[in-house]
Amino acid sequence: MGAPGQRRVWVVAAALIDADSRVLVAQRPAGKSLAGLWEFPGGKIEPGEAPEAALVRELQEELGIDTSIACFAPLTFASHAYPDFHLVMLLYACRKWSGQIRSAEGQAVRWVRLPELYRLPMPPADVPLVGMLQALL
Ligand SMILES: Nc1nc2c([nH]c(=O)n2[C@H]2C[C@H](O)[C@@H](COP(=O)(O)OP(=O)(O)OP(=O)(O)O)O2)c(=O)[nH]1
């Protein structure tokens, strides 16, 4: 479980859920780590930044939507040792936003139902989270 002193990376992400209980996933672009895998939108928390503020910022940057901290319900977290860092990722559920979702950073995005989510290739840290999401939907 993670070498001592391994770099720890704090990430925040959202399970955006629509009225049909579908979840939005985004594909990691070619050339980045974990390329091609489907992830929950989000990103790294900046130093001094509150996780929820980071999530509002990331959803605006990546998807062009406005969200409110009040609409984030803590869902679960991932703690996963990647070869070069240890990821801690907080996952929030969010059913309310304003604006039209568009992929502002060129990532492919898809709305998927749970059975499909189980079949999509996701980063290893995300795999245990899907079951937690199932309990919510
Ligand atoms: N947003 C997001 N990141 C995830 C998920 N699962 C997972 O392992 N990650 C990892 C990938 C990245 O290493 C990190 C998120 O960083 P980021 O999205 O802000 O930055 P990045 O793509 O430039 O990442 P990197 O190239 O520096 O690794 O968390 C997920 O579901 N959503």
Instruction: List pLDDT tens digits, range 65-118.
Output: 999 999 999 999 999 999 999 999 999 999 999 999 999 888 999 999 999 999
Task: Indicate the pTM of the whole model.
Answer: 0.95
The CA distance from 108 to 12, in Å, is: 19
Q: Is the CB of 87 under 6 A from ligand 1?
A: yes
The string of pLDDT tens digits covering residues 42-69 is: 999 999 999 999 999 999 999 999 999 9
Q: Is the CB of 40 under 6 A from ligand 1?
A: yes
- The CATH label, of 3.40.50.300, 3.30.70.580, 3.20.20.70, 3.90.79.10, for the domain at 8-136 is 3.90.79.10
Q: What number does the ligand 1 atom closest to the CA of 80 have?
A: 8
Residue located nearest, by CA, to atom 23 of ligand 1: 32
* Binding residue positions for Mg(2+): 42, 62
* Reported ipTM: 0.94
